[in-house]
């Protein structure tokens, strides 16, 4: 199921539970209608990718995003407590936190809605996890940190790339610090763009997850990572207790925000601006010149009429002059 369908299911379970209705029947009907849960839901992705039992699946996705293969690929992970309390500054809870055998930390966040603080939040999370990598008395030799953001909006709408690696660089675009990387995965850009020739592991991941979210699973080898993921995303695996708990945690306002149309409109406007900017420049320049000429002409006419009045020209002659000036107006006829 997609994001809206998952939210609708939880909202329905919530309503029936509050009315002391038959929640079991409700969930059974949804399991008949949908086979898979929505992967990018915060809780779902934590249960799947943050589960040590699914370590190979998580490592495979990390390798896909970080472009690691061969001897550099991640083959095992240790999951770390995602909550980071602090008496000195703001506490955080990341979606997934893991470390490889070299104690290099990989953090994953899911971002559904863009707001003015999302980039601030990622930088703050990076700082917090960097601080957590050193204990009192240790030197300043930092471990590598990769913070991944799976986001449902575009951070760089004018770029054709859907995967972006952000690092500290100088004015000559030379890397200053290579151990800290923020990787942004723009999911909707990939799904809506023309990337048919892209057969990277990440592209395969995004296509396969989307096929499950739309209840149209792609054919994959029986023992592959994707076959394992498909099994883990089956709605039947998630207990009624879990679904009811998730449903009761969702308030009416949260449901409204979950499916709010203005976010879709905002995303569409962003894409429309990027796609139509070049065309808009051409048309805008032409329209701007025409409007500018018309506006300038109008101001000139007003000044001319004002001068005629100051000279004591009769109203009849001024009216005749206005009529002649209107015929010369360069404004487009509507």
Phi, psi of 96 (to 5 degrees): -140, 135
Report whether 247 contacts 13 (CB < 8 A).
Answer: yes
Question: Once rounded to an integer, what is the mean pLDDT over residues 190-195?
Answer: 94
Report whether 134 contacts 142 (CB < 8 A).
Answer: yes
CA–CA dist 251, 34 (Å, integer): 23
Lowest model confidence (mean pLDDT) among 5-9, 98-102, 217-221, 274-278: 274-278
Neighbour count for residue 165 (Cβ, 10 Å)? 13
Give the closest residue to 128 by CA, choosing from 170, 80, 165, 171: 80
Question: Above 60 in pLDDT, residue 139?
Answer: yes
Could you give the C-alpha distances from 113 to 21, 57, 119, 267, in angstroms and in order? 33, 26, 12, 9
pLDDT for 35-48, tens place per residue? 999 999 999 999 99
Question: Once rounded to an integer, what is the mean pLDDT over residues 304-327?
Answer: 70
Write down the pLDDT at residue 273. Answer: 53
Token pair, residue 294, equals 């018309």
Report whether 170 contacts 176 (CB < 8 A).
Answer: yes
CA–CA dist 107, 16 (Å, integer): 37
Question: Above 70 in pLDDT, residue 310?
Answer: no
Q: 50: helix, coil or strand?
A: coil
CA–CA dist 156, 273 (Å, integer): 12
Question: Above 50 in pLDDT, residue 333?
Answer: no
* Nearest-10 crossing angle of helices 55-66, 225-232: 120
Mean pLDDT of the chain: 84
Question: Domain extents for the chain?
Answer: 36-233, 275-327
Q: Which is it for the CA torsion 74, 75, 78, 79, positive or negative?
A: positive
pLDDT for 278-290, tens place per residue? 455 545 555 555 5
Which residues lie across from 79 on neighbouring strands? 98
Sheet containing 78-79, strands listed edge to edge, beginning at the edge strand earlier in sequence = 78-79, 96-99, 105-111, 145-151, 175-186, 163-169
Q: pLDDT band at 330, cuts 50/70/90?
A: low
Write down the pLDDT at residue 331. Answer: 55
Separation of CA 141 from chain center: 33
């Amino acid at each position: 199921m997609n994001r809206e369908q998952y939210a609708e299911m939880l909202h329905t379970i919530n309503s029936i539970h509050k009315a002391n209705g038959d929640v079991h029947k409700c969930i059974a009907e949804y399991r008949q209608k949908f086979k898979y849960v929505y992967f990018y839901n915060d809780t779902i992705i934590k249960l799947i990718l943050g589960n040590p039992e699914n370590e190979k699946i998580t490592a495979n996705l990390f390798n896909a995003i970080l472009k690691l293969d061969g001897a550099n690929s991640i083959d095992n992970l240790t999951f770390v407590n995602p909550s980071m309390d602090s008496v000195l500054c703001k506490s955080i809870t990341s979606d997934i936190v893991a470390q490889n055998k070299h104690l290099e930390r990989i953090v994953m966040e899911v971002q559904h809605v863009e707001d003015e603080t999302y980039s601030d939040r990622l930088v703050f999370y990076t700082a917090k996890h960097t601080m957590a990598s050193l204990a009192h008395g240790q030197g300043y030799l930092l471990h590598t940190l990769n913070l991944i953001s799976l986001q449902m909006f575009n951070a760089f709408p004018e770029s054709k790339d859907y995967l972006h690696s952000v690092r500290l660089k100088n004015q000559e675009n030379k890397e200053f610090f290579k151990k800290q990387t923020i990787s942004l995965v723009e999911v909707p850009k990939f799904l809506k763009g023309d990337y048919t020739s892209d057969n990277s592991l990440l592209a395969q991941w995004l296509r396969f997850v989307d096929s499950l979210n739309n209840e149209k699973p792609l054919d994959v080898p029986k023992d592959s990572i994707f076959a394992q993921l498909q099994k883990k995303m089956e709605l039947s695996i998630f207990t009624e207790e879990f679904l009811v708990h998730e449903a009761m945690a969702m308030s009416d306002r949260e449901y409204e925000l979950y499916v709010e149309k203005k976010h879709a409109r905002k995303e569409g406007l962003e894409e429309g601006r990027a796609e139509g900017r070049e065309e808009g420049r051409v048309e805008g320049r032409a329209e701007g010149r025409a409007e500018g000429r018309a506006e300038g002409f109008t101001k000139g006419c007003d000044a001319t009429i004002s001068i005629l009045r100051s000279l004591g020209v009769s109203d009849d002659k001024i009216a005749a002059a206005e009529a002649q000036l209107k015929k010369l107006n360069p404004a487009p006829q509507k």
